[in-house]
Chains A and B, each alone.
Chain A
Amino acid sequence: MTTRQREIWNTKVGLVFALAGNAVGLGNLLRFPVQAAQNGGGTFMIPYFVALVLMGIPLMWVELAIGRRGGVHGYGTTPGMFGTLWQHPAARYLGAFGVLIPTALVLYYTYIVSWCLGFSVFSAAGTYFGEITRDEMGSFLGGYLGTEANPHFSGLGAAYFFFVVTVAMNVWILSRGVVRGLELLAKTAMPVLLVLGLVLVARVLTLDSVHPEHPDWNVANGLGFIWNPDLSRLADAKVWLAAAGQVFFTLSLGFGAIQTYASYIRERQDLTLTGLATTSVNESVEVIIGGTLAIPAAVVFFGLAQTREIAGSGSFSLGFMSMPVVFQQLPAGQLFGCLWFLLLFVAGITSSVAMCQPMMAFLQDEFQVSRKKAALVAGAGMFVLSQPVVLFMAHGFLDEMDYWVGTFGLVVMALVEIVLFAWVFGMERAWEEITRGARVRVPRVFYYVIKYVTPAFLLVILGVWGYQDAIGVLLMDGVPDETRPYKWGARLLMLGLLAVIMFGVYKRWGGRPMDAEEHRP
């Protein structure tokens, strides 16, 4: 039984910035441009906006409503929240996934965020200047990550240093609590992020063609790469799935983190406007800033054919190998390189603290652990359990975790929560939860979208991903024998975490059914 007074967000703007900081992350600036470029540019953007309206915004409202309702009952995480929606012990065990997903995600996400801090310092110091090709930068990154030897790094010392600094920053912010930690961080970091992003956008949009022999390597072609629609590809299901997937990642849906943040909202505070404002900030960073930076800059310096190849090789290649080559050819490149990686770092750390918060809330709300102690436990756990990610980076450990908790798990979690909310809890009550205190009138059509269209959308994504990828990934098709033990290690780590969280659920509630009103003040 919760006895402590739970914190609540101090200001409306602070709440929106905190939720936006939660949503805005590396995916906005690296994953989005890569996905758009890989899937037909302007063609990708059409299903992207459709998925945003039919799945992203409705799910955002659902997660905010579940979270606010949970907070009113004294719960900050999905085990308790789901228990208020479905009076069956299984509900709480399903909710355990809403603690597992962010906790497992943060184990590798924080490590990647720490690279951004490291590369920001390397840019300012000009450490990698002189590594003027993508291959050379790949080698620089490999040296940093300990996957190959090079003159810059003799081991993982630098990577560990920045990782420890990043973990310590997370612990410090979390230990200060919701208002003095998370809200203050968001109110500081989000304006900084927007300014950094706009400075870099201005720089990219004013880039002149640098290769006179290739006049077509210019910003206009770069923007065309992202925005020119190729309607013939609209019938391609792969493009629709990629767009829907991106909407998921960008809004941090299915993580369990939005619900925890929403649990600190007042009972009658508006959710619909908050959700729309959060989405608008996130989309500004993603579509306007993210879509204008990396790909157009890459087209200016590498041309269309190589940019297509860069996009095909993924987000890390774009962010950590190609962009540093670009900065080396710019006047004041060290400054712009530093700003780019600082932008990624700020976007990343506002998300990493959000991913830690569900575990914090689980310990605080359900086991009466003090805030400082919970932050120390979260930080120590994050550092210790992420060691395999750091040490076995080259063996696919991170990729295995990212697939199950960072890709497939999100869709499963979202489907579970929307079925529980709209169908088990009941759509009439769900609609009342969403619209209570609303300061903008939500069109009634969203009642039906939430009840039918969003779950159908999620089922299709889950079905197609399950058929196309999940079975192959599960059976490790094409995985070399020497890599398999590491993949199994990643699976055991995730299953172990799940077992610990489920044990926590068992200790807290046992098998007894939930009284929906048990925690209502």
Chain B
Amino acid sequence: MTGTGLTWGGAIFMLASWGAILALLVFCFTRILTRR
């Protein structure tokens, strides 16, 4: 832990993780909802 706020490395890691999870969410639900 640091007290230097959210570093560039931390911010990129956070946004990349959120992005990957949301991309997986969208991919899965698009597949589930659009194909029968």
Which residues on A are within 8 Å of B, measured CB to CB? 12-13, 16, 37, 40-42, 45, 49, 216, 218, 220-221, 223-230, 273, 276-277, 279-281, 283-284, 287-288, 304, 308, 439-440
Whether B1 lies near A308 (C-beta < 8 A) is: yes
Question: In chain B between 1 and 16, which residues have their CB closer than 8 angstroms to a CB of chain A?
Answer: 1-7, 9-11, 13-14
User: A308: which B residues are within 8 A, CB to CB?
Assistant: 1
Question: Residues of B within 8 Å of A, CB-based: how many?
Answer: 24
Q: Which of B7, B22, B28, B32 is A224 in contact with, Cβ under 8 Å? A: B7
Q: Which of A228, A287, A304 is B18 in contact with, Cβ under 8 Å? A: A287
Whether A216 lies near B6 (C-beta < 8 A) is: no
Determine the main DSSP class of A at the interface with B: helix
User: A221: which B residues are within 8 A, CB to CB?
Assistant: 3-6
Q: Which of A220, A228, A229, A277 is B29 in contact with, Cβ under 8 Å? A: A277
Whether B21 lies near A283 (C-beta < 8 A) is: yes
CB distance from B22 to the nearest CB of A (A): 7
How far is it, in angstroms, between the C-alpha of A468 and the C-alpha of B31 when the chains are bound? Answer: 44
Whether B3 lies near A440 (C-beta < 8 A) is: no
Of A227, A230, A283, A304, chain B has the most CB atoms within 10 Å of the CB of A227
Whether B24 lies near A304 (C-beta < 8 A) is: no
How far is it, in angstroms, between the C-alpha of A283 and the C-alpha of B23 when the chains are bound? Answer: 12
How far is it, in angstroms, between the C-alpha of A273 and the C-alpha of B33 when the chains are bound? Answer: 12
Whether A228 lies near B21 (C-beta < 8 A) is: no
How far is it, in angstroms, between the C-alpha of A41 and the C-alpha of B21 when the chains are bound? Answer: 18
Whether B11 lies near A280 (C-beta < 8 A) is: no
Determine the main DSSP class of B at the interface with A: helix
User: A281: which B residues are within 8 A, CB to CB?
Assistant: 25
How far is it, in angstroms, between the C-alpha of A42 and the C-alpha of B11 when the chains are bound? Answer: 10
How far is it, in angstroms, between the C-alpha of A175 and the C-alpha of B14 when the chains are bound? Answer: 42
**Contacts A277-B32, A280-B25 hold; do A288 and B18 have CB atoms under 8 A apart?**
yes
Whether A273 lies near B32 (C-beta < 8 A) is: yes
User: B29: which A residues are within 8 A, CB to CB?
Assistant: 13, 16, 277
User: B14: which A residues are within 8 A, CB to CB?
Assistant: 223, 226-227
CB distance from A73 to the nearest CB of B (A): 26
List the A residue with the shortest CB-CB distance to B5.
Answer: A220
| Total number of residue pairs linking A and B with CB closer than 8 Å | 89
Which residues on B are within 8 Å of A, measured CB to CB? 1-7, 9-11, 13-14, 17-18, 21-22, 24-25, 28-29, 31-33, 35
User: B28: which A residues are within 8 A, CB to CB?
Assistant: 16, 273, 276-277, 280
| Contact sample, A vs B, 28 pairs, CB 8 Å cutoff | A16-B32, A37-B1, A40-B1, A41-B1, A41-B10, A42-B9, A42-B10, A216-B3, A216-B5, A220-B5, A221-B3, A223-B10, A223-B14, A224-B3, A224-B7, A226-B14, A227-B10, A228-B4, A228-B10, A230-B1, A273-B31, A280-B24, A283-B24, A284-B22, A284-B25, A287-B17, A288-B18, A308-B1
How far is it, in angstroms, between the C-alpha of A280 and the C-alpha of B20 when the chains are bound? Answer: 9
Given A42-B13, A280-B25, A439-B31, output 11 extra A-B contacts at Cβ < 8 Å.
A40-B1, A45-B17, A228-B2, A228-B7, A277-B28, A277-B29, A277-B32, A284-B22, A287-B17, A287-B18, A304-B1
**Contacts A221-B3, A228-B7 hold; do A49 and B25 have CB atoms under 8 A apart?**
no
How far is it, in angstroms, between the C-alpha of A209 and the C-alpha of B6 when the chains are bound? Answer: 15
Q: Which of A218, A224, A273 is B10 in contact with, Cβ under 8 Å? A: A224
Q: Which of A13, A225, A230 is B32 in contact with, Cβ under 8 Å? A: A13
CB distance from B30 to the nearest CB of A (A): 10
Q: List 9 tightest A-B contacts by C-beta distance, closest first.
A: A277-B28, A228-B10, A227-B10, A280-B25, A220-B5, A280-B24, A227-B14, A224-B6, A223-B6
How far is it, in angstroms, between the C-alpha of A366 and the C-alpha of B2 when the chains are bound? Answer: 56
How far is it, in angstroms, between the C-alpha of A280 and the C-alpha of B28 when the chains are bound? Answer: 8
List the A residue with the shortest CB-CB distance to B23.
Answer: A280
**Contacts A16-B32, A228-B1, A304-B1 hold; do A276 and B24 have CB atoms under 8 A apart?**
yes
Whether A229 lies near B13 (C-beta < 8 A) is: yes
Whether B32 lies near A228 (C-beta < 8 A) is: no
User: A229: which B residues are within 8 A, CB to CB?
Assistant: 9-10, 13
**Contacts A12-B32, A287-B21 hold; do A227 and B13 have CB atoms under 8 A apart?**
yes
